[in-house]
Structure 1
Amino acid sequence: MATAPAEWKSDTRYSLRELERWADQGHRKPLDDLFRAWRGIQQLPPDDPNSYWAIAGYHGIPLAPFDPDQPHLPPPFAWWGGFCHHGNVLFPMWHRAYVHHLENALRTQVPDVTMAYWDKGSKDSRNYGMPASLTDEFIKLDGEVVRNPLQRFTFPVDIESSAQFKSPTKPSVADFSKRAGTHTVRYPMSTFYASKVEEVAAAGQAHNAAIRKRYPRYEDQLRALNLNIRLALVGDAQDDLSVDCDGTTDGETYARLGRCLEAPNFNILSNNTSTGKWYTSVEQPHDEIHLAIGGQDHQPIKTEVPKMYDKNGDLSKNTKAVVAQIMGSNGDMGENETAAFDPVFFFHHCNIDRMIWIWQKKWGKTAEGSIEIDPSDMEGTYGQSPSGQGGTRAIPGTTKLTMDTPLHPFKLPSGEYVTSRDVVDLRSQLGRDYSLGSFDKVEWPREVIEKPGPEVILSVININKASFLGSFRVIVSHKDPVSGTVTPVASVSVLSRWNLKRCKNCQIHLSRDVHVDITSVKRRFPLQEDITKHSYTVDFVDRSSSDERRVVASGRYVDGEWKLLVGREKIESVRIEIDERD
Structure 2
Amino acid sequence: MSRFVISGPGGGAPNRLEIRTFVQHDKYFSLYIQALQLMYTKESQAALQSFFQVGGIHGLPYIPWDGVTGIPNPTWGGYCTHGSVLFPTWHRPYVSAFEQILWTRAQEVAATYTVDQAAWKAAATTLRQPYWDWAVNSVPPDEVIAKQTVSITGHDGKKKDVANPLYHYTFHPIDPSFPTPYSGWKTTLRQPTSLQPDATDNIARLRLVLKNAQSNIRSNTYNLLTRVTTWPAFSNHTVGDGGSTSNSLEAIHDGIHVYVGGNGQMGDPAVAGFDPIFFLHHCNVDRLLSLWSALHHGVWVTPGPSQRGTLTIPANSTVDTNTNLTPFYHTQTAFWASAGVPDTTKLGYTYPEFNGLDTSNPAAVQKAIAAIVNKLYGSAVFGVQSALVQEPAAAAQQPVAAAAPSAPSADDHHPTIQHAGHGYPRDWTARVEFKKFETGQSFSVLLFLGSVPEKPEEYITSPHFVGAHHAFVNSAASHCQNCQNQAELVEEGFVHLSRGILQYGKLESLDAEVVEPYLTKDLHWRAVKADGITPVEIPSLEVSIFSTPLTYPRGSAFPIAGNTNRHSGITHGRRGGSRELHPGNH
Counterpart check, 1:360 vs 2:344: no
Aligned equivalent of 2:32 = 34
Deviation at 1:551, TM superposition (A): 4.5
- Could you tell me which of 321, 327, 348 is aligned with 1:409? 327
CA distance in 1, matches of 2:538, 2:232: 31
The answer to whether the 8 A contact 1:135-1:150 is kept is no
Aligned equivalent of 2:79 = 83
Aligned equivalent of 1:243 = none
Counterparts in 2 of 1:15-26, with a 5 A limit?
A: 15-22=18-25
CA distance in 2, matches of 1:349, 1:360: 16
- Could you tell me which of 210, 219, 243 is aligned with 1:255? 219
CA distance in 1, matches of 2:531, 2:205: 21
Counterparts in 2 of 1:99-114, with a 5 A limit?
A: 99-111=95-107, 112=125, 113-114=127-128
SS at match of 1:410: strand
Aligned equivalent of 1:539 = 526
Distance 1:499 1:177, change over 3 A: same
Counterpart check, 1:46 vs 2:45: yes
Distance 1:577 1:515, change over 3 A: farther
Deviation at 1:178, TM superposition (A): 5.9
Aligned equivalent of 1:282 = 249
Deviation at 1:284, TM superposition (A): 2.3
- Could you tell me which of 122, 147, 161 is aligned with 1:136? 147
- AA paired with 1:336? P
Deviation at 1:437, TM superposition (A): 9.8
After superposition, give the CA deviation of every residue in 1:164-220 in whole Å (9 maximum; x if it has no partner). Answer: 5xxxxxxxxx454467xx111111345x5xxxxxxxxxx343xx2xx6xxxxxx8xx
Deviation at 1:116, TM superposition (A): 0.9
Unaligned 5+ runs, structure 2: 1-10, 108-124, 359-363, 375-399, 401-423, 452-462, 545-567
Counterparts in 2 of 1:69-468, with a 5 A limit?
A: 69-71=68-70, 73-75=72-74, 77-78=75-76, 80=77, 82-111=78-107, 112=125, 113-122=127-136, 125-126=137-138, 128-133=139-144, 135-141=146-152, 142=154, 144-161=160-177, 164=179, 174-177=180-183, 182-190=186-194, 192=195, 203-205=196-198, 208=199, 221-233=202-214, 251-262=215-226, 263-273=228-238, 274-276=240-242, 278-295=245-262, 330-364=263-297, 370-375=298-303, 381-382=304-305, 391-427=309-345, 429-436=346-353, 444-445=366-367, 455-461=427-433, 463-468=434-439
Distance 1:496 1:576, change over 3 A: farther
TM-score normalised according to structure 1 size: 0.67
After superposition, give the CA deviation of every residue in 1:329-362 in whole Å (9 maximum; x if it has no partner). Answer: x211000011010000001111111111112223
TM-score normalised according to structure 2 size: 0.67
The answer to whether the 8 A contact 2:40-2:50 is kept is yes
After superposition, give the CA deviation of every residue in 1:71-99 in whole Å (9 maximum; x if it has no partner). Answer: 58443x24x3x322222211111111111
- Could you tell me which of 14, 17, 29 is aligned with 1:14? 17
- AA paired with 2:134? K
Identity %: 24
- AA paired with 1:121? A
Aligned equivalent of 2:392 = none
CA distance in 2, matches of 1:354, 1:447: 12
SS at match of 2:270: coil
Distance 1:147 1:544, change over 3 A: closer
Deviation at 1:502, TM superposition (A): 4.2
CA distance in 2, matches of 1:398, 1:579: 35
Deviation at 1:154, TM superposition (A): 1.2
- AA paired with 1:405? T
Distance 1:460 1:11, change over 3 A: closer
More helix by share: 2
CA distance in 2, matches of 1:372, 1:495: 24
CA distance in 2, matches of 1:118, 1:447: 18
Unaligned 5+ runs, structure 1: 1-7, 23-27, 165-173, 193-202, 212-217, 234-250, 296-329, 365-369, 376-380, 385-389, 481-485, 566-570
CA distance in 2, matches of 1:286, 1:416: 29
Counterpart check, 1:514 vs 2:478: no
The answer to whether the 8 A contact 1:87-1:271 is kept is yes
- AA paired with 1:474? V
After superposition, give the CA deviation of every residue in 1:371-409 in whole Å (9 maximum; x if it has no partner). Answer: 43333xxxxx2255xxxxx53332234221100011110
Distance 1:477 1:405, change over 3 A: same
Distance 1:52 1:549, change over 3 A: closer
